[in-house]
Structure 1
Amino acid sequence: MDEKLSLNYRTALPDALRVLLEDYPRTGWTQDAGYNGLIQFWLERHMMFRDLLARLNSLCEHRLGKEIAPEIFASNLAQYGSLLVSELHGHHTIEDHHYFPVLVSKDHRLAQGFELLDSDHHLLDAHLQGFVDQAKTVLSQRAEHTNPIAAFHETVERLSDKLDRHLIDEEELVVPVLLKYGALGL
């Protein structure tokens, strides 16, 4: 794969992978006759991931500002962090092993796009492992120490940026395919 297409560098999908997006722009998705429960569910899952990262970001900011107690920070970090990691791993596993192969079969022009998304999942796994490792460090530190929290906060922001880029690109590939060809086989 071209390194420029890596999640570390890309700022959008290449034009060649946006062919269906031209016919099915984001602004019209919910009004399209093909919009269904699967698409709505998929987009809601993506919003949940974004929401969890926003909560973790806010949680770090409040702890760094000493606006919340260490035990509340730790409890919320454990809850939101474990939910994010477990749900994201499950989501990516289902996509890689079931959804993406079916979606590629619906429009082979987008095969490179689904390979790109699969590659993103592996890169995101590395970011998630760093997130987990730093969360463990933060949770094992004494409450007065803010440096591990500041470093973790930066990790949350990096993960949020990478995941958002991935989710946008995934939505812009998957939803138009589903709108055009339907959800048969999924």
Structure 2
Amino acid sequence: MSHDLDQRDRLPPDLVTLLADWPRDRWSDVPEFEGLAAFWLDRHLGFRDLMSGLRLDAQHVADGLMDPQRWQGRLLRGGEQLVQGLIGHHQIEDASYFPAMLQLEPRLARGFDLLDADHHALDGLLDGFVTSANAALQAPDARAAALAFHACLTPFERQLTRHLEDEEDLIIPVILKHQMR
């Protein structure tokens, strides 16, 4: 199994050993969940919602169900929120949270390296997203532009979702185990 973001379908088993003691379906039952863990998952949910909204909007324009001018405004706002949110989120993870978690769980070093590599891969995908969004906003045929933009979103959304799920499986158990705040 490849560990590259565009190839993997889950984290390697040795990186999710904490999930045995902190299974995903019981995270919200842990008293410490309402702090950092809930905040982290809320941020990730926000990114998922933005991606889903951008994809659905593009589909609606392509299908003639949404006014192109309305779509352009939503794409500008939602696209900016997604790009700036992901960049800021990854910066604070790489600079602060991941080093602290690595000190608490050094056996997961390879997992944090993998997440860092994901961040670099996502930087390239974000560049492609911005290029695609700008092209869609400037295209004379909004329906064709929306269809092309929708096609560009699919691989980006798949890889972003893979990264978010893997990151959650690695770090939420660390947060809960060590009662990080």
TM-score over 0.5 for the pair: yes
Equivalent residue number for residue 119 of structure 1:
117
Aligned to 1:7: 5
| Deviation at residue 145 of structure 1 after TM alignment | 4.7
Q: Which runs of 4+ in 1 moved over 3 A?
A: none
What residue identity is the alignment partner of 2:156? L
Match of 2:155 in 1: 158
Indicate the residue corresponding to 1:41 in structure 2. Answer: 39
Deviations 1:31-62 (A, max 9, x none): 01332311111100000000000000110010
Counterpart of 1:31 in structure 2 is: 29
Q: Distance in 1 between matches of 2:33 and 2:66?
A: 42
- CA separation in 2, counterparts of 1:74 and 1:18? 41
Report if aligned partners of 2:62, 2:142 keep a CA contact under 8 Å in 1: no
What is residue 170 of structure 1 aligned with on the other side? 167
Identity among equivalent pairs (%): 40
Aligned residues between the structures:
181
Give runs of aligned pairs for residues 46-125 of structure 1, distance below 5 A: 46-125=44-123
Where structure 2 has 5 or more consecutive residues not aligned to the other structure, the ranges are: none
Rounded Cα–Cα distance in structure 1 between residues aligned with 2:46 and 2:60: 21
Q: Is the 8 A contact 2:68 2:142 kept in 1?
A: no
Q: Greater CA deviation, 55-64 or 25-34?
A: 25-34
CA distance in 2 between partners of 1:70 and 1:30 (Å): 41
Cα displacement (A) at 1:158 = 1.4
Partner residue of 2:144? Answer: 147
Contact 2:48–2:161 (Cα < 8 Å) also in 1:
yes
Task: Give the distance between the partners of 2:49 and 2:12, measured in 1 at CA.
Answer: 27
Distance in 1 between the 2:54 and 2:15 partners?
A: 32
Give 1:16 shift: 0.4
Q: Is the 8 A contact 2:62 2:143 kept in 1?
A: yes
After superposition, give the CA deviation of every residue in 1:66-86 in whole Å (9 maximum; x if it has no partner).
Answer: 111111011111010011000
Query: What do residues 134-155 of structure 1 show as CA deviations (whole Å, max 9, x unaligned)?
Result: 110111111x353332221012
State the alpha-carbon separation in 1 of the partners of residues 157 and 87 from structure 2. 15
Structure 1: how far apart are the matches of 2:80 and 2:142?
Answer: 22
